[in-house]
Structure 1
Amino acid sequence: MITPSVSDPSPRRRSEKSRSATLSAALELCAENGYGKVTIEAIAARAGVSKKTIYRWWSTKGAILLDAVTELVASGSPLPDTGDIEADLRTHIGSLVRLFTSPVIGPAYTGILAELLHDERLARAVNDELVIPRVALVYQRMRGAQEQGQLPPDADLPLAVEMMYGPLYYRHALGRSYPDEQRIETLVAHVMRALRTPAPS
Structure 2
Amino acid sequence: MEKEPTKPRRVPAGAAVLQENVTDAIRAAVFEELATVGYGRMSIERVAHRAGVGKAAIYRRWRSKLPIVLEVVSALAKQGLPTPDTGTLHGDVKVLLEATARVLRHPMAAQIIPDLFAESARNPDMAQALQVAVRDSQRGVAEVVVRNAVNRGELSADTDVDLALDLASGPLYWRLATIRSPLPDGYLEGLTAATTAALTSARIPR
**Alignment-mate amino acid for residue 122 of structure 1:** M
Which of 185, 188, 192 lines up with 2:189 in the alignment?
Answer: 185
Structure-to-structure mapping, 1:120-139, within 5 angstroms:
120-139=124-143
Structure 2 Cα separation of the partners of residues 181 and 2 of structure 1: 62
TM-score w.r.t. length of structure 1: 0.81
Asked whether the equivalents of residues 154 and 200 of structure 2 are also in contact (C-alpha less than 8 Å), the reply is no
- CA RMSD between the two structures: 2.6
**Alignment-mate amino acid for residue 148 of structure 2:** G
Which of 68, 86, 89 lines up with 2:90 in the alignment?
Answer: 86
The size of the alignment, in residue pairs, is 192
Structure 2 Cα separation of the partners of residues 138 and 47 of structure 1: 35
Q: Percent identity?
A: 31
Which of 56, 71, 74 lines up with 1:70 in the alignment?
Answer: 74
Structure 2 Cα separation of the partners of residues 27 and 3 of structure 1: 37
Structure-to-structure mapping, 1:106-145, within 5 angstroms:
106-145=110-149
Alignment gaps of 5+ in structure 1: 5-9
Asked whether the equivalents of residues 110 and 172 of structure 1 are also in contact (C-alpha less than 8 Å), the reply is no
TM-score w.r.t. length of structure 2: 0.79
Structure 2 Cα separation of the partners of residues 113 and 55 of structure 1: 25
User: What is residue 95 of structure 1 aligned with on the other side?
Assistant: 99
Which of 5, 29, 44 lines up with 1:40 in the alignment?
Answer: 44
Structure 2 Cα separation of the partners of residues 180 and 87 of structure 1: 20
Alignment gaps of 5+ in structure 2: 1-6, 11-15
Q: Which deviations, in whole Å up to 9, do the C-alpha atoms of 1:101-151 show, x marking residues without a partner?
A: 212322222221111111111111111122112112212221111111122
SS at match of 2:107: coil
